[in-house]
Each structure stands twice: as C-alpha cells, then as structure tokens.
Amino acid sequence: MTAVLFDFSGTLFRIESTESWLRAALDEAGLALAEAELALAALELERVGALPGGMAPRAPMPDEVAAVWGIRDESAELHRAAYTGLSRLVPLPDPALHDALYDRHMSPAAWQPYPDAAEVLRALREREVGVGVVSNIGWDLRPVFRAHGLDPYVDVYVLSYEHGVQKPDPRLFKTACTALGVEPRDVLMVGDDRRADGGAAALGCGVHFVDHLPAAQRPDGLRPILDLVG
C-alpha cells in the first residue's frame, strides 16, 4: 500500500460523552441543571441521537429531520438542521442551548484521539505512506487535527460537505486518491462504518474496519494497520 485513508469519528477520534457535551454547553451559557436533571437530559439527548459522532438515533424522527437525515453530510446547512432538529426533541432550560450544543461538538475540546492514533500516523509518515482523511461530516474538522497535533501527519482532507457527496459514494474516495496521486488498488481505507467506509471497495481499495468504542476501551485498534501496510 502506498497510501491509507482514514475515517474521522470512531476511527481516529472519539467524541466526548453526551453528559460531558451537555455539561460543557451549559457551563458556556452560564446555566445549570440539578445533577439528576442533567443526567436525564443527557440520556434523552443520547436516545434521540442528537450528538454527532455519538449513538445513532433510537427514537422516531420528526418528518422534517427524517427528510434530510440520509443526506445530512452533503452540506453544512443540512448537517446542522438534522442534529439540532433531533436536539430540540429534548426540553432544555434555554432554547439557545440547541445551537450551543451543535457548536460545542465542533470544538477540538469535544474530541479525543484514540490512544494509538498519533503513533500510527507518525509511523506512516516515517514510511512515506500517504495519509488522507475521508469523512462524512458537515463542518471543517481540520482545527481538531491541528489542536491535537495530528495535522502534520495528514496530506489530504476530503470532507463530504465540501464536495456535496457522501460515503459510500466511490467519488469521495476517488477524490482522495487523486489528491494523493495514488491508484485505488494501492490504497487502504480504514473506518468504523461497514456501509459508508466499505464503499471504497467498489473503487478497488482495500478496506479495514475498527470498532467504534470509547477511546479508553480501544487502546490499540489502529496498530494492526501498520502490519497491513508493511
């Protein structure tokens, strides 16, 4: 392999817990909830799937959200509308918190690299293996990589909202391969979503899956990639 493509959420980085997410937004707004209320609200936000990068929705969606859910990663506007639409299903002490929560999830502080992410990316750079990040997302994740010191190891970012195309569409993977100057047959795609990330196989890329787990529960899930690349 001459290049490796990585997914973002659940692959290189993990979003904070729903309770931490809510607590941070409340603190920023100067608001407070009793601990029992905060815990209950966090559980409800998790149930409806309001945290991008968190749990998938486990509750019925309003029609207006369901109408855009499948294409939410094709633009910044659709992404915000989908997730704030889910958040608004949960009563909070100030309606402005729904947008504040969305803004919080784009903050570098809301994300934690997996424990072996820096080690693996550094090793790929030392081997002169090209690295791209291919993500279904509605906002610019580059500041997250810069804040956590991983940006120097990434050659190319291909983000769905910037191209109006989302995985598993092979065009997104093709864009990354072209930007890296490599043939798909020489590329390994690493991700946690078998449908979305598995779309790279249609282009001829190799595919390797990791488990979307809290960072502490997956300390070395990326290291096998180094054996696959050789």
Encoding tokens for residue 173?
Answer: 């993977």
* Beta strands 130-135; 3-6: pairing state: parallel
Predicted confidence at residue 215, as pLDDT, reads 95
CATH, domain 3-14+111-229, list 3.40.50.1000, 1.10.3210.10, 1.10.3720.10, 3.40.1500.10: 3.40.50.1000
Closest CA to 136 of 159, 170, 105: 159
Predicted confidence at residue 150, as pLDDT, reads 98
Predicted confidence at residue 217, as pLDDT, reads 96
Angle of helix 35-48 relative to helix 18-29, nearest 10 degrees, comes to 120
Predicted confidence at residue 147, as pLDDT, reads 98
What is the dihedral sign for C-alpha 154, 139, 21, 51?
negative
Predicted confidence at residue 101, as pLDDT, reads 98
Residue 114 corresponds to which amino acid? Y
Hey, is 5 helix, strand or coil?
A: strand
Predicted confidence at residue 52, as pLDDT, reads 98
Predicted confidence at residue 178, as pLDDT, reads 98
Contact 3, 185 (CB under 8 A): no
> Which residue blocks in 30-116 are alpha helix, DSSP H?
35-48, 63-69, 76-87, 97-105
Predicted confidence at residue 204, as pLDDT, reads 97
Domain residue spans of the chain:
3-14+111-229, 16-109
Predicted confidence at residue 173, as pLDDT, reads 98
pLDDT tens by residue, the chain, 230 residues = 899 999 999 999 999 999 999 999 999 999 999 999 999 999 999 999 999 999 999 999 999 999 999 999 999 999 999 999 999 999 999 999 999 999 999 999 999 999 999 999 999 999 999 999 999 999 999 999 999 999 999 999 999 999 999 999 999 999 999 999 999 999 999 999 999 999 999 999 999 999 999 999 999 999 999 999 96
Write phi, then psi, for 86 (nearest 5 degrees).
-70, -40
Whole-angstrom distance, CA of residue 110 vs CA of residue 28: 13
- Which residue, chain included where needed, has tokens 């899930």? 221
Predicted confidence at residue 37, as pLDDT, reads 97
Predicted confidence at residue 102, as pLDDT, reads 98
Write phi, then psi, for 133 (nearest 5 degrees).
-110, 120
- Which residue, chain included where needed, has tokens 């690299």? 113
